Structure 1
Amino acid sequence: MIRIGKPVQLYEWGAGTNTLNQIWTVCGKGELLSGPKVKMGATEITVQIQGQFEKKNAKDDSIKIMQQGEGMTPTSTRWGEVAMGRIKSVSGNTVVVEVKSAMKVGKGTNVRPGKPVSP
């Protein structure tokens, strides 16, 4: 589940030739600019990057979106995959990622005192 209000990391697929040097590496860190938008059956996620977006593998536009304590690492300090898609556009430090698979969007960790947290 993607949590609005939590920081995200973008990972790119490496440009190597085998599984030892062709790995997922961080190409940007930031936060969601707004909630995901559905257009023509695909979900567009806009990420505001801190600093510059540095993509080293120009042949592959695959991107993983990771969030801390999400994906297969619930309630953990490790980063887990919440979505995987392709880069649609890059403009300055704003990256739009197009995700064609289904995903769930929830609120971040900012919860008011006395209010129950939904899973």
Structure 2
Amino acid sequence: MHLYKNFPKVILNNIDNPIKIRLFDRKLISSGIIIPLKLKKHFIVLKKIFIKSICIIHITNIMEVKILLINVCYKKLIIYPKEKIAMIDFFEKINVNWKNSIHLKKSNRGKKCFGSTGI
């Protein structure tokens, strides 16, 4: 279940000047987005990355979304102000209640096949 209607959200960097990141260097880039979460249990999913680097979501103690960029390319990575970095989405944690069972219900499956798809 989505927590907010305006998510997924595209993360734009919140920098004033271009940043250069050399091979295997890393930079923590501010997005300027503060998460107004009322729930303590949630999932944050990195849906898409717009630049060629490793991106890791970092949430500060004031609930600001930052992205840790690690350049793994041989070329210098240049991040320009307000450039798209990634797309994130928030989901509420759902509790699942499992029931123990000795026998499973019979279902139609193909010969030597798994699940309902018949694969």
Instruction: State the TM-score, normalized to the length of structure 1.
Output: 0.33
Bigger RCO (CA 8 Å, 6+ sep) = 2
Q: Tell me which protein shows more strand as a share of its residues.
A: 1
